[in-house]
Amino acid sequence: MLDAGGRAYAYSKACGIIGKSFVGKRIPALYGLHTLSEFSRFVFPHENLNLPGRELLADLERRIIARTIRQIVSVINSYQKPPELLILLLRSYEYSDLKSCLHYIDAGKKEQPVLCDIGDYKTIHFEAYPDIAAMLAATEFENIPGKTEQKINFSLLESEIDKLYYRRLKETLFSLSSDDREISQRIIAEEIAIRNCIWAFRLRTYFHKTAEETKDFLMDITMKSVRDTLMDSPRREISLVSDALKSLDFHLDIRSHWTDWKWEKLLNPEQPGVHWYADPKYFQNAASKYLYRLAMRYFRLMPMSVSMVFCFVKVKQYEEDLLTSIIEGLGLGMSSNDVLDLLGVS
């Protein structure tokens, strides 16, 4: 096996990190926190800082993300030559930072948002902020739709960034052997399909887009099923936008329209005496939990494969989202119990 030593070291390191992370059986340890200071002492026992509330909240968010990135980099660097799929997962932080910069520029802000440090894996010239053309020069984003010299279409540009990321995920996925990509392929296909549904919900609910307008923002990506890929079947690829397109025909306030839809299980439940309305935030949280459980289930299934590290990254990013949600709740006066219950975490 190519780079067998690196694969074994990556698995050993990943297991050690997961064992100390707030995932799986360690999630209940997060219950009972009531202040940001308590959270800081518990999650970062050796890094306590005496900061006021708002500053502590921002500092904790930076530390949570920075620690996640350091741990992901340490596992990816176990390989002599890290697979492009894993590098792209790490660079999802760069894609996110680019979207944050676009929002700042759109709002006319001169200062730059706080950025993630992914070291030598960075490709965007963030030092050129707020000059978008200079930031994206000689990168994969240089000719992305929505960016012109005269006018910037920020909503389109953000959508195109997501499309580019997932198309590149698919490309790098199929540069791997069948054993290396089998599990990753299952999860990526589910993630793209769900991501399209989230986009459809958000655009219809928050931006009041029509069904026809929404279609332009979705990722029209296809992929063979894992079974067909491994058997080298000539069957056509499956559309990963079809579930989202079907949802455009359903009324957002009529629950019966969603019966038998593939992702119905991720919808917010009906409440007695309350008129039901599809909640994009609930759907997104439920989808995140669903994808996390897939990654946790498959993490140790093929320990020497690239998919193991793929699952590791997904689990760590779920933990990051969970911890960030808790500190945001604590900052609003909620307890960690309230936040975890709201997220449906058990």
Report CA-CA distances (Å) from 310 to 85, 87, 292: 8, 10, 12
167 within domain boundaries: no
Q: Which residues of 60-73 are buried (b: 16+ CB within 10 A; e: fewer)?
A: bbebbbebbbebbb
Task: Assess whether 102 and 12 both reside in one domain.
Answer: no
Q: Which residues contact 39 (CB under 8 A, 6 or more apart)?
A: 33, 60, 326, 327, 330, 336
Q: What's the average model confidence in pLDDT over 129-154? A: 81
pLDDT at 235: 61
Structure tokens given for 254: 């009529």
Task: Assess whether 71 and 103 both reside in one domain.
Answer: no
Res. 23: pLDDT tops 80:
yes
Res. 112: pLDDT tops 90:
yes
Nearest to 249 by CA among 191, 322, 321, 200: 200
> What tens digit of pLDDT does each residue of 276-309 get?
999 999 999 999 999 999 999 999 998 989 999 9
Task: Assess whether 61 and 196 both reside in one domain.
Answer: yes
Q: Which amino acid is at 258?
A: W
More confident position, 152 or 214:
214
Task: Assess whether 79 and 93 both reside in one domain.
Answer: no
Angle, in degrees to the nearest 10, between helices 306-331 and 36-43: 150
pLDDT at 280: 95
pLDDT at 228: 58
Res. 1: pLDDT tops 70:
no
Task: Assess whether 55 and 137 both reside in one domain.
Answer: no
pLDDT at 143: 84
Task: Assess whether 134 and 47 both reside in one domain.
Answer: no
Task: Assess whether 192 and 56 both reside in one domain.
Answer: yes
Q: Mean pLDDT, the chain, as a whole number? A: 91
161 within domain boundaries: no
Q: With cut-offs at 50, 70 and 90, classify the pLDDT of residue 5.
A: confident
| SS3 state at 150 | coil
pLDDT at 12: 95
80 class by beta-carbon count within 10 Å (0-12 exposed, 13-18 middle, 19+ buried): exposed
Q: With cut-offs at 50, 70 and 90, classify the pLDDT of residue 345.
A: confident
Task: Assess whether 247 and 135 both reside in one domain.
Answer: no
Task: Assess whether 213 and 78 both reside in one domain.
Answer: yes
Task: Assess whether 73 and 93 both reside in one domain.
Answer: no
pLDDT at 4: 79
Task: Assess whether 90 and 56 both reside in one domain.
Answer: no
Task: Assess whether 54 and 130 both reside in one domain.
Answer: no
* H or E element in which residue 195 lies: helix 178-205
171 within domain boundaries: no
165 within domain boundaries: no
pLDDT at 149: 47
Query: How far apart, in whole angstroms, are the C-alpha atoms of residue 23 and residue 29?
Result: 10
pLDDT at 147: 62
Q: Which domain holds residue 92?
A: 84-154
Query: How far apart, in whole angstroms, are the C-alpha atoms of residue 343 and residue 287?
Result: 11
Number of domains in the chain: 2
> What tens digit of pLDDT does each residue of 38-77 get?
999 999 988 777 777 789 999 999 999 999 999 999 999 9
Do 142 and 136 meet the contact criterion of CB atoms below 8 Å apart? yes
Structure letter (DSSP) for residue 176: S
